[in-house]
Amino acid sequence: MKTIPLAEGIKLKSILTRKIQELVYEIHNNAHVVVEKGETPKQSGRTVSEIEAELAQVRKDVRTLDKLIYRANIDHTIEFKGETMPIVEAIELAKQLRAEASLYKDLGNSEKEKIYTTTGEGKVLYEVAMYDPREYREKAIQLEKDAHRLSNLINAKNYEVRIEFDDSKYF
């Protein structure tokens, strides 16, 4: 059987998902026609059953790709910061690193101390950060670098790993 890079399988799955939406839309467009009473409806384009057959095949191919992608993401590993992990775990870690970097950016953009506006009593209040914003800005920068580095490793692995799938119907 023909093999393709995992990266191509991931891209193809996205293309096929869009193709499913297009076929469903085509079914809706071809399912009904408007005619005058007594006239025989004329088929414009493909029949609903022809579209359904193609839709069924594309859906089957998406399921097959899903299975192959999930299996590859579990079976193949990436080395990152001295730790070996399956691709699926590396993908999740990259998401978590980006989320943590975003949080730290928000904290890093805060002032150490600023006037807290209130209404009434004439007291001057301050909002004081219970951490060093500069330190969190630096942490955010490092976490973003780590996330980019890990994403690059994942992308490289996605081109290295091959899955058994015949994509000739689509490319």
| CB distance 13 to 63 below 8 Å | no
In this prediction, residue 47 carries a pLDDT of: 94
pLDDT, tens digit, for every residue of 16-47?
Answer: 999 999 999 999 999 998 899 999 998 888 99
Report yes or no on 170 lying in a domain.
no
Report yes or no on 169 lying in a domain.
no
Structural domain boundaries, residue 37: 3-164
In this prediction, residue 124 carries a pLDDT of: 83
pLDDT, tens digit, for every residue of 128-153?
Answer: 999 999 999 999 999 999 999 999 99
Report yes or no on 22 lying in a domain.
yes
SS3 58: helix
**Residue 123: pLDDT over 90:** no
Residues 6+ apart with CB under 8 A from 9: 65, 68, 69, 72, 163, 165, 167
Q: How many domains does the chain have?
A: 1
Report yes or no on 64 lying in a domain.
yes
Report yes or no on 12 lying in a domain.
yes
Report yes or no on 69 lying in a domain.
yes
Report yes or no on 155 lying in a domain.
yes
Report yes or no on 171 lying in a domain.
no
